[in-house]
Amino acid sequence: MIPSDLEAKILKVKRQDHIPLYVSATAGTTVYGAFDPLDNIADICEKYGLWMHVDAAWGGGLLMSRKHSFKLNGIERANSVTWNPHKLMGVPLQCSAFLVCEKNLLQACNQMRAGYLFQPDKQYDTTYDTGDKTIQCGRHVDVFKLWLMWKAKGTRGFEILINKFLELAEYLYKELNSRENFQLVFDAEPELTNVCFWYIPPNLRRIPNGPEREKLLHQVAPKIKARMIEEGMTMVSYQPHGDKVNFFRMVFSNPATRKSDVDFLLEEIERLGKDL
């Protein structure tokens, strides 16, 4: 998100007599793993009195890393945050959190005060009855998995894990830069564990850039992925994005992954795709 463009759009809709009320920023996009400039966005939200939400479902785990947490600077100024520990932090599915700064807000929005469920004169503190604060009412105690894992690993354990994922992403980025049959989707070091790239088969390298080459390149990743599935050796996702044809998107979130696995993946892609 470009803050100056955000402010321009806010002013535009206000001139049209509309009332902007909400800005959704992202900390770790699904495809590129990109981070919006949260502090700058928070300044604009405060200036115009807008609710600031941060979707940190994917990238929120970086807060556990002293080395990488700066990428979320400004998230503490948000009105609400989405965070999925079952993603980057490896908590078993499902473990998702929606956090708000204003105390009792979720209860005020969602409570039905059903007397047959939530009696105010119970023996214990009824603030522990979370059902009247949520949309679902009845739900699993998903936070227990996070609590148990945090007790076992500690904050330092999560930090070691997350730093390792980022190191693997950096290693893959450098390996791709050094191999002639691979091309990065954008030439910048990854902000998260996402690394996006094309494999360019030798036959395709002889074709000049243009619509014909793009059409053929669009078919490469799906064909290699199909061969991966048939052989059952490796698995990596792919997709198009905007005006970019199908590319591979490698995402690190498995604590067992090693650099040798990264090398093996690239060698397999070359083996499976060299005749395309």
Q: What is the 3-state secondary structure (H, E, C) of 175-228?
A: HHHHCCCEEECCCCCCCCCEEEEEECCHHHHCCCCCHHHHHHHHHHHHHHHHHH
pLDDT above 90 coverage of the chain, percent: 81
The pLDDT value given to residue 183? 96
- Judged against a pLDDT cut of 80, whether residue 103 lies above it is answered with yes
The pLDDT value given to residue 142? 86
Q: Give the C-alpha separation, 78 to 53, whole Å.
A: 6
Q: Report pTM.
A: 0.90
**How confident is the model over 22-33, as a mean pLDDT?**
97
- The reply to whether omega before 107 is within 30° of 0 (cis) is no
The pLDDT value given to residue 160? 96
Q: Which of the two residues, 117 and 216, has the higher pLDDT score?
A: 216
> Minimal CA–CA distance to 218: which of 198, 196, 194, 242?
198
Chain position carrying tokens 């040798």: 260
Q: Which of the two residues, 117 and 18, has the higher pLDDT score?
A: 18
The pLDDT value given to residue 125? 86
CA 189 to chain centre: 16
- pLDDT interval class at 112 (50, 70, 90): confident
* pLDDT digits 0-9 by tens, 158-186: 999 999 999 999 999 999 999 999 999 99
Q: Give the C-alpha separation, 82 to 57, whole Å.
A: 5
What are the residues whose beta carbons fall under 8 Å from the beta carbon of 143, sequence distance 6 or more?
95, 97
Residue 162: CA count within 13 A, CB half-sphere: 26
- pLDDT interval class at 141 (50, 70, 90): confident
Q: Are 72 and 64 in contact (CB under 8 A)?
A: no
The helix/strand/coil state of 237 is: strand
**Element spanning 238, H or E:** strand 237-241
The pLDDT value given to residue 58? 96
The pLDDT value given to residue 48? 97
The pLDDT value given to residue 108? 87
The pLDDT value given to residue 233? 86
Q: Give the C-alpha separation, 142 to 84, whole Å.
A: 11
- pLDDT interval class at 2 (50, 70, 90): very high
**Element spanning 170, H or E:** helix 143-178
The pLDDT value given to residue 91? 93
Q: Give the C-alpha separation, 198 to 221, whole Å.
A: 8
Q: How far is CA 225 from CA 197, 250, 272, in A?
A: 14, 12, 9
DSSP 8-state symbol, 243: T
Mean pLDDT of the chain: 93
The pLDDT value given to residue 264? 96
- pLDDT interval class at 37 (50, 70, 90): very high
